[in-house]
Amino acid sequence: MKIIMLGAPGAGKGTQAKMVAEKYHIPHISTGDIFRANIKNGTKLGMEAKEYMDKGLLVPDELTVKILLDRVAQEDCQGGYVLDGFPRTIPQAEVLDRALAELGDAIDYAVNVDVPDENIVNRMSGRRACLSCGATYHMVHIPPKKEGVCDTCGQPLVLRDDDKPETVKNRLGVYHEQTQPLIDFYEKKGVLKTVDGTQDMKDVFQAIAAILG
């Protein structure tokens, strides 16, 4: 099963994608996590990506597409995957489509986690992320067992550099301009499913699981 998670920054794509990956035994692939891991390790890619990410802008398609196509070509993706944060532009979606079509394949579901802008800024300022394993928490809604420490790997939790309110506003603007058109794109392909992302995260997951079967 090949699934795309669509939604604004902070809509809960990452939170839901992890649960989908676990339930259906497929890898969770987040381009944002891949970039953050590269930033943490000080790679050339990380340094290039950081310049855009800190401003709330998208990393150029040339950098992003290759990373994603290399990742989905790996052995563990044979049985499918859940993409979180990719595609984010129409050109990215077209490249993915073509790459899949060459293999006689296609995306099964594009799940749009729908959350209005008003809810987003609040969610982001409460988010704490583990840069080691990619786990995400919320200080109020989904707190870790021990404050400031990742439940999964014991590493310290941080406020992401791009979660400052000003940057979040930029990211929302970029989302509406460049990413929202993908909703139409996948609707036309007949694979779009929209869920109400303002519900409790367990209810959001139930709605998604009901779609995926």
Please say whether the beta carbons of 115 and 10 come within 8 A.
Answer: yes
Classify 33 as helix, strand or coil.
helix
Is 138 an interacting residue with respect to ligand AP5 (CB under 6 A)?
A: yes
Task: Name which of 44 and 104 has its Cβ closer to ligand AP5.
Answer: 44
Nearest distance from C-beta of residue 187 to ligand AP5, angstroms: 20
Task: Compute the distance between CA of residue 85 and CA of residue 67 in angstroms, rounded to an integer.
Answer: 13
- H or E segment to which residue 90 belongs: helix 90-102
Residue 88 falls in the annotated catalytic set: yes
Of all residues in this chain, which one has the CB nearest to ligand AP5 in the complex?
Answer: 32
Angle between helices 117-126 and 165-174 (to 10 degrees): 140
Please say whether the beta carbons of 141 and 156 come within 8 A.
Answer: no
Classify 140 as helix, strand or coil.
coil
Nearest distance from C-beta of residue 20 to ligand AP5, angstroms: 12
Classify 144 as helix, strand or coil.
coil
Task: Name which of 37 and 201 has its Cβ closer to ligand AP5.
Answer: 201
The correct pick among 7, 12, 14, 56 for binding Mg ion (CB under 5 A) is 14
Task: Name which of 14 and 192 has its Cβ closer to Mg ion.
Answer: 14
The item of ligand AP5, Mg ion, none sharing an interface with residue 130, based on CB under 5 to 8 Å by kind, is none
Classify 73 as helix, strand or coil.
coil
Nearest distance from C-beta of residue 100 to ligand AP5, angstroms: 16
The correct pick among 29, 53, 110, 157 for binding ligand AP5 (CB under 6 A) is 53
Distance (Å) of CA 178 to CA 8, 17, 198: 11, 21, 22
Nearest distance from C-beta of residue 182 to ligand AP5, angstroms: 11
Indicate the residue type of 131: L
Binding positions for ligand AP5, rule: CB under 6 A: 7, 9-15, 30-32, 35, 52-53, 56-59, 64, 85-86, 88, 92, 123, 126-127, 136-138, 141-142, 162, 171, 200-201, 204
Active site residues: 13, 88, 127, 160, 171
